[in-house]
Structure 1
Amino acid sequence: MNLKSGRVDQFEQFSQFKDLQEFNAHLEMWLAIHKNDFSKGELVGLKRLVRFAAKLPGVSNAKIGTILKAIHAEYSGNGISRSTFKRMIAKATEIGIFTVHETERKNGSQSSNLYVFNRFPKSEPPKKEKMDHPNKTINLSKTNKNQKITKRNETVLDHTFTSDHVPQSFISTVKYFFPEARQIEEFWKMTAIAAYKNNCELNTIQETAILSFKQLIRKMKTSVIAKPAAYFYGILNKKFEEKYFEELHEMGFSAEENDFSLDFFYKNK
């Protein structure tokens, strides 16, 4: 049976987030991995839907027509088509970014959909092995062999094992200071999150990422940095913000009128 349509407030039980900040953080993680799965027009539709999911964190029942009208007004008549928005819905639901529930009016006719954004999934922790078998004798020689095998399996992977989604130019810069594949991938993950937050295209951020990393290394030469990846993210975020506002200035728009970051959406709801 479908849900009954109504004010978004009545769907409070569907929200999976304690506040807007948590919703923002999870959406950033979704987009850091899957942003390139969407076209530019589809991303415009997704980000506008996010605005309508700000009042009740992660939940929206806005009509497609209302969303498209808002996009059309924001871009001075250059909006996106209904088919583009529906393609975005299909992709986002398949990925798992949000779940769509149909709603109906009192007379049984179909009403607007309910969009419920999902939390970014965490990896399941390894299952605990059963210990202390009283009826079995511990064989120390086998235990020592198993420990040696475990150590071999824990061999650190160097930069040559870095994921293909990380640009080679970035790998070449980072590997001399952080040679492990997982370290390089962590720095690039921070880059992707900062780029999304400031509405930067991933194919245009390599130069900024490399410059930011070099700034991090200079800082590490003179100071102790407890969390290099977090410090790197701070540098990136500042550079992307500066670049974003420079572009707005060149276009003749003010930040208040055109800021496309999630934080801005939330603060103005």
Structure 2
Amino acid sequence: MAGLKSGNIEGFEQFSQFSSLQELNTHIEMWLAVHKHDFSKGALVGLKRLVRFSAKIPGVCNAKIGTILKAIHQEYKDNGISRSTFKRMIQKAKELGILSVYETERKNGSQSSNLYLFNRFPSNEPPKEEIMNHPKETNNLLKTEKDQKKKERIQEPSELDYTYVSDRVPQPFVQLVKCFFPEAKTIEEYWRMANIAASSYQSELDPAHILDIAIQSFKQLIRKLKFKNNIRNPFAYFYGILDHKFCVHFHDALHEKYDSNDEEIIFGSWVNI
């Protein structure tokens, strides 16, 4: 997209990868679930503010850096972030695939503000870039019960175990995941990924379906982790499994609904004869 001309944000609508603000927010949540720890606290503030500036045309922003920094300073009572922090955030987001950045130019050819385009989270495979450190290394996931209990006894006080998991997480899911990831925070994160993956198919799902698919997907994840040690990010891989299973279930439900409607139409026709 070389030679982009600066202008009103509406002129860049064609570059949006999202159909709605809700869809943008869902993908940002998935990106942060995987890469939050790759950013400093100040960088996260800058990233989230950039998302807010990308609301009018979902995922597209061409605001000046100074304008974004001014908004941050006003919100945080002059305890905002520096221009260098914001630029480091942009560079990191580009490296991870979260953002694409393009230069724009004025009519006279001089450089104008950049065009920031948020990308969709890749659902079919884990990102290839550097991933946040996971609480457990892959080759240590399947420990014996004895080793697991020993680790729980020596864990730091600030690291809460599965008995502290939020009530929002169904117990059958907790009981399964705790065998491999005993920390409350990790269990809750896996359940959050399940809900994010299910959000696009809510019309044909009930809580029982979501729980069943989440359990099936987690078991498949563990099997992959056991036999495929090069999985660099279990969270992203888990999301990919979930997305596929929810999609299949959604389409199966639609086919059943339409098949049922066809049968009613055919039966009614025979009755009328």
CA distance, structure 2, for counterparts of residue 182 and residue 27 of structure 1 = 25
Distance (Å, rounded) in 2 between the aligned partners of 1:92 and 1:43: 10
**Match of 2:50?**
49
1:208-223 alignment, distance < 5 Å: none
- Give per-residue Cα distances to partners, 1:58-106, cap 9 Å, x unaligned: 0000000000111111111111110010010011110011100100001
Q: 1:188, CA displacement in angstroms?
A: 2.6
Q: Deviations over 1:204-261 (max 9, x none)?
A: xxxxxxxxxxxxxxxxxxxx95534999xxxxxxxxxxxxxxxxxxxxxxxxxxxxxx
Matches within 5 A, 1:1-269: 1-123=2-124, 158=142, 169-170=160-161, 177-178=175-176, 181=180, 187-190=188-191, 225-228=208-211
- In structure 2, the gaps of 5 or more residues are 126-140, 149-157, 166-172, 196-206, 215-273
Q: Secondary structure at the match of 1:178?
A: helix
Distance 1:187 1:227, change over 3 A: farther
Equivalent position SS for 1:119: coil
What amino acid is aligned across from residue 210 of structure 2 in structure 1?
K
TM-score (norm 1): 0.53
Cα distance, 1:173 vs structure 2: 7.2
Q: Gaps spanning 5+ residues in structure 1: where?
A: 125-156, 195-223, 232-269
Partner Cα distance (1:103, 1:187) in 2 = 42
1:183-206 C-alpha deviation (Å, 9 max, x unpaired): 996643335899xxxxxxxxxxxx
1:123 shift after superposition: 1.6
Do the aligned partners of 1:23 and 1:58 also contact (CA within 8 Å) in 2?
yes
2:247 aligns to what?
Answer: none
1:125-170 Cα shifts (integer Å, max 9, x gaps): xxxxxxxxxxxxxxxxxxxxxxxxxxxxxxxx856699xxxx9744
- State whether residues 161 and 182 of structure 2, in contact with CA within 8 Å, keep that contact through their aligned partners in structure 1: no
**Structure 1 residue ranges (4+ consecutive) displaced by more than 3 angstroms after TM superposition:** 157-162, 167-176, 179-187, 190-194, 224-231
Q: Secondary structure at the match of 1:99?
A: strand
The letter for the 2-side match of 1:16 is: Q
The AA in structure 2 aligned to 1:178 is L
Q: Aligned to 1:177, what secondary structure does the other structure show?
A: helix
Percent of paired sites with the same residue: 59
CA deviation after TM superposition for structure 1 residue 122, in Å: 1.6
**Which residue identity does 2:28 align to in structure 1?**
L
Q: 1:74 to 1:16 in 2, by over 3 A?
A: same
Q: State how far apart, in whole Å, the 2-side matches of 1:75 and 1:168 are.
A: 30
